[in-house]
Amino acid sequence: MNKPGFSSMTKILDKYELDETKQKRISREWQDYAYRLAVALDDTKHTAIYMRIVKTAPRELVEKAKSFVMDAGARSRGKMFMWKLKQLKEEERDKSV
């Protein structure tokens, strides 16, 4: 029934893995970003903290801290992320004073 060169939708969708571990209550972009951040930092136990951080902190600073941690290859990524984010916030505050 398929035309030559076309695949059925089922075959196409079967190629993709769905992320079943993703939380069901995520309805906003920043919540999704915070959850992905927690997963990247291997710290899903503290997802609520990342939700608050992403909602209140400038995304640019969060991205810089995440990049720093991922490049450093730290064992405790969550702790290093918090430390770096605090440092970046202090630098921003010092610039504005």
Q: Judge contact between 84 and 68, C-beta under 8 A.
A: yes
In this prediction the pTM is 0.71
Collapse the DSSP code of 95 into the 3-class scheme (helix H, G, I; strand E, B; otherwise coil) and give the result: helix
Q: Identify the pLDDT of residue 27.
A: 86
Mark the ranges of the chain whose per-residue pLDDT is less than 70.
1-4, 13-24
Q: Identify the pLDDT of residue 1.
A: 53
Q: Which helix (H) or strand (E) holds 2?
A: none
Q: Identify the pLDDT of residue 20.
A: 52
Q: Judge contact between 14 and 6, C-beta under 8 A.
A: no
Q: Identify the pLDDT of residue 13.
A: 65
Rg from Cα positions in the chain: 19
- What CA–CA distance (Å, rounded) separates 62 from 25? 22
Q: Domain segments of the chain: what residues?
A: 24-96
Q: Identify the pLDDT of residue 3.
A: 61
Query: 23: closest CA among 44, 6, 50?
Result: 44
